[in-house]
């Protein structure tokens, strides 16, 4: 049965992680793996999460299953976090929400739901997009198309080209996948006017918006990062949204996320929910409970919620400071290239815009690791390695 199998190529980021671990260079720097890191290079356990877990240890009474939809309290709280209390209340009867195993679980269940409703629907993804969007959505059998997005020259969004492609080629019933904030891998986000134009396009063309909201709070702020999404959800008849607690709560290994489905009418919501929960039941049956319990414990406790937001604000400000320092550091070294776009972008990621050969040279000569596309995780920088990284980049660009 197994003898015909051949090993698949290693995932580029997982391979990079392995190479980094095996590197003995004392100043090695990991800018590849997409997790938040503090000044010591650790992915920290947030204090609010730690305190919430201690509360759960003392109060938890059962380890029974929680059902395919997950925790109702978590679903309510995460919906309010993403949409805001007012809009969440307004749309409550039109929303079907499920707790999922991380944002990946939300994306895959969204794909399975779409496939069951509209097998011929195409999903339009940005060029570039998060690499895992392709196997998560395409693996469910959905055809994928791409629209122009990132401008390598300016570090911004090719919005005119994006809209021209979608208006010309997207059909009614197709879906357009949008990054809610902190675009991965580019860091280039849509502005409020562009969100409004996308909303009008979806209304006019009958295209369904599908939002991936993986980094809320790490761009400009919890509410600021959600403004475009809230405008969109307030206007369109149908929409899907996948969200994750991996980054803003630091719950990576707990696999905590949610999927929201917006129906055109409240009468449709029971059928929408039934179809979604049936898809979930046939895949992983029901989600794990711990991460969702941590999140709802934090959001339901005013002191913990305040502490969490303070920690999240500190993470965001640190990333913004690192963006500023990286640009200034390269400028101070006389690099004949404009990196100011790094300061204008949002979230943990940016493209340096160097060639694969230069990426390999950085790894070979300086043990500075990043993926071949030159996407870097800004949170991998720190006061301990920033000058070293700037020296390395300047060396390969001036050499």
Say if residues 28 and 12 touch (Cβ distance below 8 Å): no
CA dihedral (275, 296, 237, 184) positive or negative? negative
Mark out the alpha helices in 300-338 (DSSP H runs). Answer: 302-332
Say if residues 275 and 250 touch (Cβ distance below 8 Å): no
Reduce the DSSP state of residue 277 to 3 states and report it: helix
- Reported as type and span, the H/E element at residue 375 is strand 375-377
Strands 29-30 and 368-369: parallel
Q: Which two tokens stand for residue 33?
A: 């793996």
Active site residue 50: no
d(CA 226, CA 248): 13
Active site residue 130: yes
Q: Which two tokens stand for residue 387?
A: 């000058």
| CB neighbourhood size of 89 (10 A) | 12
* Active-site residue, from 124, 212, 225, 308: 212
* Active-site residue, from 124, 130, 195, 308: 130
- As to burial, measured by CB atoms within 10 angstroms (0-12 exposed, 13-18 middle, 19+ buried), residue 234 is middle
Q: Which two tokens stand for residue 50?
A: 């730690």
d(CA 268, CA 277): 14
Active site residue 391: no
**Crossing angle of the two packed helices 159-169 and 192-205, in degrees rounded to 10:** 10
Question: Nearest Cα to 31, choosing from 333, 351, 255?
Answer: 351
Say if residues 295 and 243 touch (Cβ distance below 8 Å): no
d(CA 353, CA 359): 10
* Active-site residue, from 30, 189, 247, 308: 247
d(CA 128, CA 149): 7
Catalytic annotation, residues: 130, 212, 247
């Amino acid at each position: 049965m197994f003898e015909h199998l051949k090993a698949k190529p290693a995932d580029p980021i997982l391979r990079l992680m392995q190479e980094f671990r095996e590197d003995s260079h004392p100043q090695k720097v990991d800018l590849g793996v997409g997790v938040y890191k503090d000044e010591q290079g650790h992915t920290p356990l947030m204090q609010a999460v730690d305190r919430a877990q201690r509360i759960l240890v003392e109060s938890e009474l059962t380890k029974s299953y929680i059902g395919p939809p997950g925790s109702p309290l978590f679903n309510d709280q995460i919906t309010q976090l993403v949409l805001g209390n007012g809009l969440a209340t307004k749309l409550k009867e039109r929303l079907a929400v499920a707790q999922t195993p991380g944002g990946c679980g939300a994306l895959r269940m969204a794909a399975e739901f779409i496939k069951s409703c509209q097998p011929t629907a195409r999903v339009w993804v940005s060029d570039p997009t998060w690499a895992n969007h392709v196997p998560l959505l395409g693996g469910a059998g959905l055809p994928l198309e791409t629209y122009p997005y990132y401008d390598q020259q300016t570090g911004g969004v090719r919005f005119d080209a994006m809209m021209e492609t979608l208006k010309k080629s997207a059909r009614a019933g197709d879906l357009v996948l949008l990054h809610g904030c902190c675009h991965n891998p580019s860091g280039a986000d849509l502005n409020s006017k562009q969100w409004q134009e996308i909303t009008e396009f979806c209304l006019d063309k009958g295209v369904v918006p599908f939002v991936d909201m993986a980094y809320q709070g790490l761009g400009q702020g919890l509410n600021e990062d959600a403004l475009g999404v809230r405008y969109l959800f307030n206007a369109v008849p149908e929409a899907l949204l996948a969200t994750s607690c991996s980054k803003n709560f630091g719950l990576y290994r707990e696999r905590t996320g949610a999927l929201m489905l917006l129906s055109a009418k409240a009468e449709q919501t029971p059928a929408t929910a039934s179809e979604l929960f049936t898809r979930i039941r046939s895949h992983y049956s029901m989600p794990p409970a711990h991460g969702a319990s941590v999140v709802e414990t934090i959001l339901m406790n005013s002191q913990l919620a305040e502490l969490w937001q303070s920690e999240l604000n500190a993470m965001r400000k640190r990333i913004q400071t690192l963006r500023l320092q990286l640009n200034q550091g390269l400028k101070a070294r006389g690099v004949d290239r404009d990196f100011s776009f790094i300061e204008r972008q949002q979230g943990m990621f940016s493209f340096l815009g160097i060639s694969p050969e230069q990426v390999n040279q950085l790894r070979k000569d300086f043990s500075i690791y990043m993926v071949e596309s030159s996407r870097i995780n800004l949170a991998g920088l720190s006061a301990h390695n920033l000058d070293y990284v700037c020296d390395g980049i300047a060396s390969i660009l001036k050499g």
